[in-house]
Amino acid sequence: MEEVYSLFATKDQVLITIDPDPDAIGAALAFKRLLWHKVQSVTIGMIRPIRRLNNITMVRLLKLPLVLLEKKQTKQFDKYVIVDGQPSHNAFFSQFSYSVVIDHHPVNSSVESPFVDIRPEYGSTSTILTEYLKAAKIKPSQTLSTSLLYGIKTDTRNFERHTILDDIESFRYLFPLANHNVLRKIEISDLSLQDLKFFHRAVERKHIIKDRIFSHLEKVPSADILVVIAEFFLKIHDISWSIISGIYENSLIIVIRNDGFRKDAGKIVRQAFGDIGCAGGHEAMARAEIPMDKLKDVIQEPTSPNIERFIHKALFPFS
Ligand SMILES: [Mn+2]
């Protein structure tokens, strides 16, 4: 902390640049807190708008002070900081000369800065910044704790991937300080009002064969909505397979979820669609993408009922 503080002067106007995912946002807020009363101002600048609805919800509910940077940055700052990223990660970042770089991504090109702390073994940069706050003897506010906790949770996918003990220790420290009602609302906020009509369509057009539910949604605005609906239908207790399809950018997309017990969704989509499109996945989740002109080779008339029949027969030829 002494080394960090020695790089800043009280007259400094500081810019922290981030690619705004939850980990970067949490880490940037923590760094801003570290500099509180130490410098004249700290701006957290995003290099792109936030797209994920969960993250938009977080910024709105917690009233986070984030600023969208313009491609041609006119305002000059005295010092630049980057968290959860490195200058070489994109052209926007690389235009600045950074005093501080704190990150957990692997180092792929040398980083030149007076203060570099890159720990690729860490699950999140929010973990690293939680340790900085502890070192500075700063107890994070509820808003900051909630942001850091969400940063750790998203980057480690709730500790399902690259997690070390330090991530769990920071999580344990932040847990009683965070607002869990807000956190829950953030975590479930992945739908927009427009998505509801696809739920409506999916429910109307569903059909069930044994423990499998199928629904073909025709044209969809993104493949993500197919994933959300496939996961939603798997909530039905006696459904073991959820197979949701739609047409996106001139391809038929098929999203599959199952209960994960003695099933291999990845294998069956590769067998069913591997020769006409791109297909793959794991035991419990899989996906296939078939260009419409390839589809016309196997279905003469690609109407919705024909597409559904084709999907069912290709996936489950013996029933
Ligand atoms: Mn990260």
23-39 residue pLDDT tens = 999 999 999 999 999 99
- Please tell me the distance between residue 305's alpha carbon and the centre of ligand 1 in angstroms: 44
Separation of CA 56 and ligand 1 centre (Å): 17
Beta bridge partners of 246: 253
**At residue 74, does pLDDT exceed 80?**
no
How would you class 109 by CB atoms within 10 Å of its CB: exposed for 0-12, middle for 13-18, buried for 19 or more?
Answer: exposed
319 pLDDT band, cuts 50/70/90, is: confident
CA of 54 relative to ligand 1 center, distance in Å? 16
Per-residue pLDDT tens digits for 251-284: 999 999 999 999 999 999 999 999 999 999 999 9
Q: Read off the tokens for 164.
A: 């070390």
- What's the rounded Cα separation, in Å, for the pair 225 and 254? 11
- Cα 219 to averaged position of ligand 1 atoms, centre (Å): 34
- Per DSSP, the three-state class of 78 is coil
pLDDT per residue over 43-57, tens digit each? Answer: 999 999 999 999 999
Ligand 1 centre distance from Cα of residue 243 (Å): 32
**SS3 state of residue 260:** coil
* In the predicted structure, residue 72 carries a pLDDT above the cut 80: no
- Cα 190 to ligand 1 centroid, rounded to whole Å: 20
Taking the centre of ligand 1 as the mean of its atom positions, its distance from the CA of residue 105, in whole angstroms, is 7
- For ligand 1, the distance from its centroid to the CA atom of residue 170, given in whole angstroms, is 14
Distance between CA 109 and CA 111 in Å, rounded? 6
Q: List 291's β-bridge partners, or say none.
A: 251
The predicted-structure confidence for 231-254, as pLDDT tens digits, reads as follows 999 999 999 999 999 999 999 999
Q: What is the CA radius of gyration of the chain?
A: 24
Domains of the chain: 2-188 (3.90.1640.10), 195-315 (3.10.310.40)
107 CA → ligand 1 middle, Å: 13
Task: For residues 287 and 291, give the distance between their C-alpha atoms in angstroms, rounded to a whole number.
Answer: 13
